[in-house]
Amino acid sequence: MVDALRTAGHEATVLDDLSSGRRENLPSDAPLELLDVRTPEAARLAEEGGFDALLHLAAQMDVRRSTEDPLFDASVNVLGLLNVVGAAVRGGARQVIFASTGGAIYGEQSTHPAPETHPTRPVSPYGVSKLAGERYLDYYHLELGIDVACLRFANVYGERQSPHGEAGVVAIFLERLLSGRPCTIHGDGLQTRDYVHVSDVARATVACLGRPGFRVYNVGTGVETSVVDLYRALAAAAGSDEPPRHGPAKPGEQRRSSVDPSRLLSELGLPRPLALTDGLARTTAWFAARQPAAPERGE
């Protein structure tokens, strides 16, 4: 995101507690404030920093953790959002761009891919907290006149993604495949997701800067890919012929998910998103360049 902002001529100050990110993912000269989004210090930075816009990407993003600890999920995703948004608005910010969710907010879909008009019926506390964030931002728009863009991200993957903690399946599989370790698919692996490359997410976010009004956009590809097919593609890209293992299905996991990005592409004039095969090739090359050599079999 910082790279995309700088390319577009913007300056950015980063607020992050590095609970899942890493400092080396940022340009070495990027200002970084090590803060929890829920703290008074974070609010002070948002209010006194002189920012024109707030790009709110901070989140507790693990669906399973949200079901185990909905109070923590809400404290980060709802109270953390309100903490910094209210402060940024007091400090003069005129726009908020919010990282929402394109999968969890729709729940089990009746239409594939889901347009933004699809009913929002989340089936996890994570999805509920993201929907609450959108509703709060609609209030700020109506009452205070700030511009808002809620971006409903599909499953984001790509370079610099961590394979640890709240990781995406692409990063997890690649880290294990490239180190010669087995991968486990939860359930039968026929559950589908819409995988969107991080470059398309960054491009969409930057394109929303300065856009007036209250906007909701899906950020995805509209293409469903099963976990089994994703594994096959990653194994081929990594040069592995190891079959996956299968473990118990995860409770509360949606069966199918994909979002329709047509509104985003037409209104913002953006190109079609990167094809999954091309995105996986780029991502695999990045991981492979940073991965220790896999041990020889038998060692």
Rounded CA gap, 213 and 146, in Å?
Answer: 8
Contact 196, 258 (CB under 8 A): no
Q: How far is CA 51 from CA 14, 130, 242, in A?
A: 11, 23, 50
- Type and span of the H or E element at 281: helix 276-289
Catalytic residue among 106, 126, 195, 217: 126
Q: Which residues contact 3 (CB under 8 A, 6 or more apart)?
A: 27, 202
Q: Which residues pair with 34 in a beta bridge?
A: 16
Instruction: Decide if 126 is catalytic.
Output: yes
Residue pair 85/139 in contact by the 8 Å Cβ criterion: no
Which residues contact residue 18 at a Cβ distance below 8 angstroms, ignoring those fewer than 6 apart?
34
Is the bond leading into 27 cis (omega within 30 degrees of zero)?
Answer: no
Cα angle, residue 279 at apex, residues 275 and 285 outer, rounded to 5°: 150
Residues that are catalytic: 126
